[in-house]
A and B are shown apart, each in its own frame.
Chain A
Amino acid sequence: MTARFPVITGLGIVAAPGCRVDEVWDSIRAGTSGLQPLSLFDSPRYGQVPTGEVRHNLIALGAPTHGSRSDQLGWLAARDALRSAGLDLSGGTERVGVLLGCSVGGSFDSERFLTTLLKQGKMRARPTRFHECVSVVDLIADTFGLYGPSMAIATACSSGALAIATAAEMILAGEADVMLAGGADSLSRMTWAGFHSLLLVDDAGCRPFDRHRAGTSLGEGAGILALETEASARQRGATILARLSGWGLSCDAHHSTAPHPEGAGAIAAMQGALRRAGLTSAAIDYINAHGTGTRDNDLAEAKALKSVFGDRVPPFSSTKGFFGHALAASGALEAVLCVEALRRQEMPPNPGFTVLDPAIGLTPLPLLQSASLAHVMSNSFGFGGNNAVLIFSKPESEAVPRLAHPAPGAITGLGVIGPGATCVRDIEPPLPPGSVTVHSCGALADAALLSSNQRRRLSRLIQMALITARRSHTPDPAQRLAVAIGTGLGFLEDAAAFLENLISKDEREPMPARFPNSVHNAAAAQVAIDLGARAMNSAPTNGEISFESALWQGMCQLATGEADGALVGAVDELNKYPLSIGQRWGFWTDRTGPGEGAMVASLTREETATTPLARVTAVRLGRYRRPFDAVREAEWIASAVNLAAVDVVLSGAGSVPALDAHYHAVVTALGDLTGRALEHQTYKQLCGEFHAASAFGFSVAVERVRQTGRGVLLYTLSLRGAKALCCVQP
């Protein structure tokens, strides 16, 4: 089955050194850094230190005028990747999907809303429409007619590489023939001040691996690969630029921001990627290092390189001096460079390095160098100790297929906080006064389970994730545990507190402890630290199907044998901003009340579970067509699920009116297709409306299966066009 092996047939890049692949490579060949003084916004405290800002006019390059800055960056890279792949997308296709790392999302634009609110007392909420990280994915899918699986992953600095690895798994699993995969992130005041507050920015511009390095330089951009099955590429006569031959994912389970001092997680991810590619370390010809320029990262990464490669560390460089650290886009920009490096047989240099650090004892490439390259490695390490390593190979190199064996996952435990009790919540300043009837989970009765450091440092939603994870799971030190905890809107209490403070005090007295809690993978990372989970760690953010996205990732790790157990779940919290903005836009009604909750399920492979609660027999992601076609949806469901075993469809109906008719029509169409009526049940009347609600729905499905001994289909639609199904059976 080498035919399904992922190859790269298209590239798109937008970054500080250039907005086309050849433009970027010309800058690299010339050794021209893309770092320049910040001009995108004023920074009263930190000034105009060197930054990888994209200075091209994005609209002039063709980006849509609506959407956040991250959306526009991602859209441009997607357009160029599709063009260079030469794909014919007329009429749209279910065989192409999009999966991007995005961790800043629309923050840059939402900050304009917050500044106007705090400084002028005016409520101009329009820019917040694109706040969610998945906004860029939805925009790309809608524009280009991609109806395959779509997802965003927000694991901070490793997001782009994790997205590429997950997209490769989707291709191998047959979920799509082509996946646009990569990352997009814009600069924002939030990440700017956040990295500064952690004292992680070098005012002189980053100097990766240099003895005098003093931090990173922030950047922005988007990099997207067209990943395609080899069979599809050959069939349409597309040029194969390179092969994605291996990927390795791991978690340090050590600290929220600092890497493991010996690089333990980085070592595991590099070894995992080599194993997957069927290569020994001696086969790697070049490494694009994570190399942020911070003291801790570069030292830990160097130790990891020496551990994996011994005294034969291949030529390596960090290219952060060209791009700046573009966070979720970073691994994707570097992936584009790796493909180009293979194509051109040239290795990019490491700008900023002049003096060898004796503690590191390794010298990165000072200048661009020609070399015979067959296999190159790209490292990405993120907050929360989240590591993703990719290996790219020449097109003619041998692929080592290692296929997933799709198998049911056994549910061995569930932890649920919710459904919330109905109460009236007042909207607090700086928002205009008001009140909304909400489903609130209230004070956390089980907070006493947590350590005093967890209680004082972690906000309520992260505590909810920790409590539900602990309830779902009995720790077993021998088990390799993966964690995927999705969230739609993320940790809004932390993000809002950090930004309100930042804007109202003009960057004085920052909140360094709040910043790491505000990233979307804060919960997944804290759960990993709490439970010692060192396999894949992910935080998919995908609107109403964030839970199903986490479930897909967890099941995939079990099916590929990369983990023995997986904690999968989703969390979202009530917060005054969505309450107020939702009310203003008429989103909350008597029928649709905002809610919150957390659910984590513990899964293992079926053969290792002795007394499972139930089994997950199918999970699939995609997008629905507009106008909505219920018959097409019913056929999609029937292609994935054994409907004879299912009596009940459990859906998100009964909340947002725009989706109700779709849900009812699909249940009717399923009845027509199977010749027997399926019972339609709903759960949002219990828990309220929030992006992670389908995770609560999943717990309802498991309970129902246990009571009746019959299968339940969980079917979820997002307002922005994504859909998911999940089948739970005895």
Chain B
Amino acid sequence: MDALANELKAKIVESLKLQDVNPDQIDDNAPLFGAGLDLDSIDALELVVMLEKHYGIVIKDIEEGRPAFQSVRALAEFVRARRPSQ
């Protein structure tokens, strides 16, 4: 199990106020936008805020974040790569 992926699922549910969605139900590889969780561009911006708040990753251009928002797995990889060293 990927602890970071699980943590991100909880943060997605919390920051987007997803209703009737249990973090455990989110598939690591399922698309977050369009199909899957059916998120939209405003949700992507909320995820940008979440990434900065919890992981110190600053995104100034939504195109930068686009690869990260493909799935939870992609998001976890993005966080690992971009997270400032602690």
Binding site for B on A (CB under 8 A): 197-199, 203, 214, 255-258, 452-453, 455-457, 509-513, 516
Contacts and interface: CB of A to CB of B under 8 A. Distances in A.
Contacts of B16: 456
A457 B46 CA distance: 11
Most chain B CB within a 10 A radius of its CB, from A258, A512, A516: A512
The A contact surface, by secondary structure, is loop
Q: Which of B19, B46, B61 has the most CB of A within 10 A?
A: B46
A197 B53 CA distance: 13
Interface of B: 16-20, 38, 40-43, 45-46, 48-49, 52-53, 59-62
Given A256-B42, A509-B53, A452 B61 contact: no
Given A257-B41, A452-B19, A199 B49 contact: no
A375 to B, nearest CB: 36
A255 B40 contact: yes
Contacts of B52: 509
A255 B45 contact: no
A-B pairs, top 4 by smallest CB distance, nearest first, are A512-B45, A456-B17, A452-B19, A513-B42
B38 A513 contact: no
A720 to B, nearest CB: 35
Contacts of B42: 198, 256-257, 457, 512-513, 516
Nearest to B16: A456
B41 A197 contact: no
Given A199-B62, A255-B40, A456 B19 contact: yes
22 contacts: A199-B45, A199-B59, A199-B60, A199-B61, A199-B62, A203-B60, A257-B42, A258-B41, A453-B38, A453-B40, A455-B19, A456-B17, A456-B19, A457-B42, A509-B53, A511-B49, A512-B42, A512-B46, A512-B48, A512-B49, A513-B43, A516-B42
A256 B40 CA distance: 11
Contacts of A510: 49
Contacts of B20: 452
B23 to A, nearest CB: 15
Contacts of B43: 513
A704 to B, nearest CB: 41
Contacts of A453: 38, 40
B41 A255 contact: yes
Given A452-B20, A456-B17, A509 B60 contact: no
A197 B45 contact: yes
A564 to B, nearest CB: 30
A455 B48 CA distance: 22
Contacts of B45: 197-199, 512-513
A570 to B, nearest CB: 26
Given A452-B19, A452-B20, 16 more contacts: A198-B42, A199-B48, A199-B59, A214-B61, A255-B40, A255-B41, A256-B42, A257-B42, A258-B41, A455-B19, A456-B16, A456-B19, A509-B53, A512-B49, A513-B42, A516-B42
